[in-house]
Amino acid sequence: MNGIGLLSAVVSAISWGTFFVPVRKVNIVNVWQLQGATGIGVLLFAIPVGIFWGFDILPSGLLSGAIWTAGNILALYSVRLIGLARTSPFLAGFSILVSFMWGILFFSEKFNYMVLAIAAIGLLLAGLPFVSNAAKSSMGQKKGYLLAAASGLIGGSYVIPMQATHSLQSGFFSSSLSIFAIGIPLLLLSRRFIKKELAAGILSGSLFNIGSLGVLIGISLIGITVAYPISQTATLFAVSWGILYFREIVRRNNILKVITGAALILSGAALLVIA
C-alpha cells in the first residue's frame, strides 16, 4: 500500500472531521450565508495549489464542485437540526457506501478479500441505527437524519466526474471555482454579512479544501475504494467535537450509542483497507 496515499487520506480525515467546527461554533443561522463564505475559503486555498496543479477550467471539475455544494448545503441543514455528532456518522456511512459502489461497479476496482469488503459494508450499515436511536426522534430530528443520508449519497459521488475523466489533480481548481461561483449568489441572496460568521465560513472552506486535496492525492495513489473510506474516518473527529466540545449529547446512554455507531462505521472503513 502506498504510504503517501495513506497519509494523504488521513490528512483528509482530520481536515474533514474539523471543517464543520467553525460554522457550528457561530451557530448555523443562515445556511446560504455560510455556504457562500465557505466558497470563498475554498477558492482562497485553491489559488496557491493551482500554481502547481494548474488553473484549467474543466467540465468535470465544475460538475464535481456543484455536486459537493449540493451535498454540503444538505449537511449544514442537518447539523442545524441534529448536531455535528449525529450528522457526521450518517453522512460518512452513506458516503462510504456510495464510493464503494462506484469503485466496484463503475471503475472495476478489485479487492483481495471480497468477503472482508462485504463484511466492512455490513459493519458500516449496522452502525447507522445506533446513531439514529441515540435519542427520541422528533419530526425535526427525523428530517435531520434524512438530510444527512441524502448529503452522504450526493457527497459520496463528488469526485466521480474527475476520477472518470482522469482529472483528479487538474480538476481541483475547477471544482473549487464551481463551489465559489455557486456560493456567492447564495451569499448575496442571504443578505446576511456578519463578520464572525463570514470568517467562520471562510475557515471552514479552507479546511474542507485541505481535506479535498488530501483525498484527491490519495485516490490517485491507492484508489477510491480505499482512500475515500479512510477519509470518512473524519467521523471520529467530528463526533468527538460534537460530544466533547459542543456538548450536543449529554446523557451517558445516548453518548455510548453514538460512539458505538461511529466505531462500527470506522471499523467498516478499516476493513475496507485490509480487504
134 pLDDT above the threshold of 70 = no
pLDDT for 22 equals 96
- Cell representation of residue 169: 489533480
Alpha helices in 54-83 (DSSP H): 59-82
Higher pLDDT, 64 or 257: 64
Picking from 54-58, 118-122, 137-141, which range would have the lowest pLDDT averaged per residue? 137-141
Q: How confident is the model over 37-77, as pLDDT tens digits?
A: 999 999 999 999 999 888 999 999 999 999 999 999 999 99
- Cell representation of residue 61: 471539475
pLDDT for 133 equals 66
Q: How confident is the model over 14-29, as pLDDT tens digits?
A: 999 999 999 999 989 9
How does residue 135 score in pLDDT terms, banded at 50, 70 and 90? low
Distances in whole angstroms, Cα of residue 173 to Cα of each of 30, 56, 143: 26, 7, 33
125 pLDDT above the threshold of 90 = no
Strand (E) positions, 170-274? none
Integer Cα distance of 263 and 117 in angstroms:
17
111 pLDDT above the threshold of 80 = no
126 pLDDT above the threshold of 70 = yes
How does residue 3 score in pLDDT terms, banded at 50, 70 and 90? confident
Query: Which residues lie below 8 Å from residue 138, measured CB to CB, with a gap of 6+?
Result: none
How does residue 136 score in pLDDT terms, banded at 50, 70 and 90? low
Integer Cα distance of 58 and 176 in angstroms:
11
pLDDT for 18 equals 95
- Cell representation of residue 223: 484508489
Give the number of domains in the chain: 1
Mean pLDDT of the chain: 88
Integer Cα distance of 223 and 216 in angstroms:
10
Higher pLDDT, 117 or 80: 80
The residue segments making up the domain with residue 213 are 3-274
